[in-house]
Structure 1
Amino acid sequence: MDLKEEYPKVLILSDATWSNSNNIGNTYTNLFGGWDPERIAMVYARGDLPENKICNKYFQIAESRIIRRFFDKSVKTGIEIAQDTAKLEDYDIEVDVEASRKLYSFFKKFRWNIFLLARNMLWKIGKWKTSELDEFIDSYDPDVIFALACEGSYINDLQQYIIKKSNRKAAIYFVDDIYSMRQFSLSPIFWLNRIISRSGLRKTTSMCDKVYTIISDQKEEYDRCFGKSSEVINKGGNFSGDMPKPTARKNPMKLIYSGNISAVGRWETLAQVGRALDSINSEGDRAHLYISTTDVLNAKMKKAFESCKSIKFKGKLPIEEVEEFQNSADILVHVEAFNIRDRLKTRLSFSTKLVDYFERGRCILAIGWDESASIIYLRENDAAFVVDDLGALENELRKLIFSPELVEEYGEKGWELGKSNHGIEDIRQRLREGLLSLSEG
């Protein structure tokens, strides 16, 4: 069997960079691991550089260059990048990376609805449909398109253009709820952005021959919305061997959270855990919560964490140390927000770090709204010690901390769910076969 029969030549369309340091980049690495590197490429819409060991061929469209082109017509808004040759020593790339980093950090920090609207307008009037982009598509000549579902109308315009230009069949992958109107905001501009985004997503999805969703609750709702039967593709892990043996139980017990905390209100729930542990520890030093995140804390977060003696904030850890950090836990912590805006925003999401937790073979403590898809999934499979009521948090924590048999039991149950539903080879094979079928159809 030749390589074309095994691996279709796929072109990924994404707003975010394929970097193992961000969530979606980590997901790409997980799904496309083992893919022939000569048969995978990406077009993305951010100015930073990729970082992974799978894909080497990219076309990058940077917003900073779109802005610069208004003042200098010689600026190329899109450029081809090879990961193994793109270096920050290149002055133009360094300028683009730094400018894009500042722009993205600003949007991420404030995320004002007016700025999101302005971003879409920038792409509407800016020149990104260029001969360089066309030449990249033609020269790569993909067999199939794999588009990440994105809420910005700008990225939907880009994806629609490439699908039409390439004249290839496409699949779209939803990893968050970016379509439902079941949201909360008092801003009219938020709802304007949502309506515009939904229109773009409907058109992009209508141009795709296959839809992937990340969890069954999302599948059920989106199948109704788009009138298409989607397939669930989630993150995979290595469950081929024996379950890792837990380390000797620590005294005080070590609870660990690693992941994002700021974008969807998780930090508030973590602070609640810290306060509950402070109350428990007033009777003796029983347990501490260790937090690792790449997010930069604002003043409010710092104050909340520093006010809890039981919280040990570790900040950003090198990627290669995260697994060891998680393995040192007695209990791995997953949290979701309880405020109405963020809980609705993440209602149909699945936290991919849960698969990493399953791999560790440690007890998972999951705290979140009972309508969160992640919480429903864990509860239905009895794979975590679930708390969905903050009023009961301290009592439930006491129950878990003082019950070593529960800690051991849920470590085994999480591992078994991972082994049953998240085997990496099965997931990669299903994705490869699905894209191969499209390319041959």
Structure 2
Amino acid sequence: MDRKVLLISHNALGKENNMARTLENQFMGLRSEQIAQLFFSDENPNSEYCDNYFRVSDSEVLRSLYSRKEVGNKINITFHESIDNKDEWIKTKIRKKGNRRPAVYLIRNLIWLLGKWKSKKLDDWLDQFKPDVIYFASGDYAFSYMVTLYIAKRRNIPVIIGCYDDFYIDKRKTINPLYHITYQNLMKKAKELFDLSSAFVAVSDMMVEDYSKLFNKKGYTLYTPTNLLNNSSNFKKQEIITYAGNLGHGRAEQLISLGRALKKIGVPSLDHIDVYSGEIRTEITGSLTADNGINFCGRVPAEKVQELMISSKYIVHTESFDETFTKRVKYSLSTKIADCLASGSCIIAYGPKEVASISYLEKDEAACVISDEASLEKKLIGLFASDEEKKRICASAKKLAYRNHSSDKNRELLCNIIESLF
């Protein structure tokens, strides 16, 4: 494929968060001159495959409100600039992970609506790159759709929308008027962009089916790729159970339930879960104790997470049974699933079957799926007692990883989708 792709997303390409790694794996097959990224976070890119970036950050757009000067700059990936202290509130109040209050959405979208991000520098950068197609990694802030629409219309080029989490169907039940304002604003911009777009891709069949109906647009399932398929055999398995990832959306409570069951069963070295997460909220971490069968290890670098996954005999994937959380993650195929399947470790999946990630693992028998707390101990005892069952699960997982999560196959599919637009 010789098309030039403009990637628009909140996060810069790199290895420091799940979205950045997912996008990098999707596009790493393109030559460096074929890919450029426009992003909105204050972070710096850290990619081996892309060297052409333009950044417009919250801090810059905020400053433009009172300076009335155009903002945004081409980024040199070897130059790491610090953010001024006067802009620190943007990072802590608006960008802070987990800060999802409606007022924050309203303020951030308003800043971008009034800010001077439409600049000559941005136009010159786009003129120099000359993109053939836009790939937009969707989010839950309306301003990113506004930016994408502006560029797509101005340059008259097709758009492919990448969907990784559900921001559209799961409308919360609340009397907060600000939530309804921000939700309606997001849906207005999303529908406008979907109408303009040529196609969309999503991480699960369930999401493709429901979004096709919602937006009346053709969709494709593009599973999250992994780069572990050729590396997992190089590590010796340790007799440990590992969980690495987000502890939000009720996952911490799930791990505690699982940890208590493991402690009660009492198999040596398998009587607790080693939990790795950057979670700092004490109301969550305070319960991750040895009494609850949890060894909380804190945050580790992304490369270390992959090492832990492929060196552990068992790895855990979990989603909450709470209906509020189930609705929020219903369509998402967790970004860790691909690495879990390719790791060669036995997956313990604990959560409701109506969530895409749990049903996906169960369908191909690629995990020991436990879908209710009542059968937790019985299923774990049976798993630990049967080497044959563990081997069968690991073989099924590896087969599924090769079929749906090969980086090469996924990039080929994405390239074919792009070529079909011309």
Q: How does 1:68-147 map to 2 (within 5 A)?
A: 68-74=63-69, 76-84=70-78, 86-88=79-81, 101-106=91-96, 108-147=97-136
From 334, 340, 345, the equivalent of 1:351 is 334
Per the TM alignment, residue 304 of structure 1 is displaced from its structure 2 partner at its CA by: 1.0
Per the TM alignment, residue 399 of structure 1 is displaced from its structure 2 partner at its CA by: 2.6
CA contact (8 A) 1:383 1:414 kept: yes
Q: Does 1:287 align with 2:282?
A: no
Q: Does 1:436 align with 2:414?
A: no
CA contact (8 A) 2:279 2:285 kept: no
Query: Residues 51 and 241 (structure 1 numbering): CA distance in 2 closer, same or farther, change over 3 Å?
Result: closer
2:37 — aligned with what? 42
Distance (Å, rounded) in 2 between the aligned partners of 1:79 and 1:249 = 47
From 53, 57, 63, the equivalent of 2:58 is 63
Distance (Å, rounded) in 2 between the aligned partners of 1:28 and 1:239 = 16
From 161, 185, 202, the equivalent of 1:213 is 202
Unpaired segments ≥5 residues, structure 2: none
Unpaired segments ≥5 residues, structure 1: 1-5
CA-to-aligned-CA distance 1:119-167 (integer Å, 9 cap, x gap): 1122122222222222222221111111112221111111100111221
From 391, 400, 412, the equivalent of 1:417 is 400
Q: How does 1:27-426 map to 2 (within 5 A)?
A: 27-74=22-69, 76-84=70-78, 86-88=79-81, 101-106=91-96, 108-181=97-170, 183-185=172-174, 187-237=176-226, 244=233, 247=236, 250=239, 254-262=240-248, 264-281=249-266, 286-293=270-277, 295-306=278-289, 308=291, 310-426=293-409
TM-score (norm 2): 0.93
Distance (Å, rounded) in 2 between the aligned partners of 1:184 and 1:7 = 46
Distance (Å, rounded) in 2 between the aligned partners of 1:127 and 1:425 = 40
Distance (Å, rounded) in 1 between the aligned partners of 2:252 and 2:88 = 28
CA contact (8 A) 1:223 1:229 kept: yes
> Which segment drifts farther, 154-163 or 128-137?
128-137
Distance (Å, rounded) in 1 between the aligned partners of 2:95 and 2:256 = 24
Helix, strand or coil at the partner of 1:305 = coil
Per the TM alignment, residue 181 of structure 1 is displaced from its structure 2 partner at its CA by: 4.0
CA contact (8 A) 2:65 2:111 kept: no
From 8, 12, 20, the equivalent of 1:17 is 12
TM-score (norm 1): 0.89
Distance (Å, rounded) in 1 between the aligned partners of 2:403 and 2:349 = 20
CA-to-aligned-CA distance 1:297-326 (integer Å, 9 cap, x gap): 211112210253521122121233222211
CA RMSD of aligned residues (A): 2.4
Per the TM alignment, residue 248 of structure 1 is displaced from its structure 2 partner at its CA by: 5.6
Per the TM alignment, residue 117 of structure 1 is displaced from its structure 2 partner at its CA by: 1.6
- What is the letter of the counterpart of residue 112 of structure 2? W
Per the TM alignment, residue 99 of structure 1 is displaced from its structure 2 partner at its CA by: 5.9
Query: Residues 105 and 394 (structure 1 numbering): CA distance in 2 closer, same or farther, change over 3 Å?
Result: farther
Q: How many residues align?
A: 422
CA contact (8 A) 1:177 1:348 kept: yes
Query: Residues 337 and 96 (structure 1 numbering): CA distance in 2 closer, same or farther, change over 3 Å?
Result: farther
Distance (Å, rounded) in 1 between the aligned partners of 2:299 and 2:235 = 24
CA-to-aligned-CA distance 1:238-296 (integer Å, 9 cap, x gap): 5876973884662xxx111112223x332221122122222223x86643211112x23
CA contact (8 A) 2:166 2:332 kept: yes
CA contact (8 A) 2:223 2:410 kept: yes
Per the TM alignment, residue 110 of structure 1 is displaced from its structure 2 partner at its CA by: 3.2
Helix, strand or coil at the partner of 1:71 = helix
- What is the letter of the counterpart of residue 256 of structure 1? T
> Which segment drifts farther, 49-58 or 178-187?
178-187
CA contact (8 A) 2:259 2:271 kept: no
CA-to-aligned-CA distance 1:83-131 (integer Å, 9 cap, x gap): 13x223xx6x56698665434553x243212211221122122222222
- What is the letter of the counterpart of residue 23 of structure 1? N
Helix, strand or coil at the partner of 2:272 = strand
CA contact (8 A) 1:182 1:344 kept: no
- What is the letter of the counterpart of residue 257 of structure 2? Q
Identity over aligned residues, as a percent? 27
Per the TM alignment, residue 49 of structure 1 is displaced from its structure 2 partner at its CA by: 1.0
